[in-house]
Amino acid sequence: MNNSKILRIGLMGSSCSGKTTSVELLAEELGLKLYPEFESRILSDWIRQGRIKDKLHMSPDSTKEFHEEALTLREIKSEESIRYISDRTAAELLVYNRLYVQPHFLVDYAREFTSRCREVMEKYTNLFLFPRGVLPLEDNGVRTADSEYQLKVHTLLVDVLRDLGIRYNLLSKDRLDKRERVEEIKKCLEI
């Protein structure tokens, strides 16, 4: 494979859809730098540092600050390399921002945050949306293990992608193991 070719892959989807299960193998097989999901790590750091008690005790202001930190990190990472794969994208961040932050702030904030997310999303050469409900929901301390909530997140993610005009590949709803999911993605990439 030509390692100088721009290849920026983003894996998207609600919690427990198989993104993290697939991303390490994909990164290794495609020779891509891996950008793991930042948001859970940032949230865990904030809890460990005592900035917040837990994910349920965040004010709109602290949630806004959290989203700003996560988006800034995504902006930096999107400029670092021409070849990478990302476990989650700014589109998921925008979904959560619309749910928990934007209702509490001025419309100008929503426009600016949305614009920044669009700029990050437009840097991807390939985006893959994982189906929801393929894996059992597990609470890891930072995700919400509620199937109705995850359906809402998935639906809002599809809406965000449509609103931003972002093209993506919808992966099959078949219950695939890690190897089969990786092969499905590689087939879409024609690799």
Enumerate the domain spans of the chain.
Answer: 7-189
Which fold does the domain 7-189 belong to in CATH?
A: Rossmann fold (3.40.50)
Rounded to the nearest integer, the mean pLDDT of the chain is: 90
Burial tier of 68 (Cβ tally within 10 Å: 0-12, 13-18, 19+)? middle
Which helix (H) or strand (E) segment holds residue 87: the answer is: strand 83-87
pTM above 0.85, yes or no: yes
Q: Please say if the pLDDT value at position 185 is more than 60.
A: yes
Q: How many Å separate Cα 13 from the centre of its chain?
A: 7
**Digit-coded pLDDT (tens) for 70-103:** 999 999 999 999 999 999 999 999 999 999 999 9
In 3D, which of 66, 43, 56, 24 has the Cα closest to residue 146? Answer: 56
The rounded distance, in Å, linking the Cα atoms of 34 and 77 is 10
165: left (phi over 0), alpha (psi -120 to 50) or beta: left
DSSP states along 102-121:
GGGS-HHHHHHHHHHHHHHH
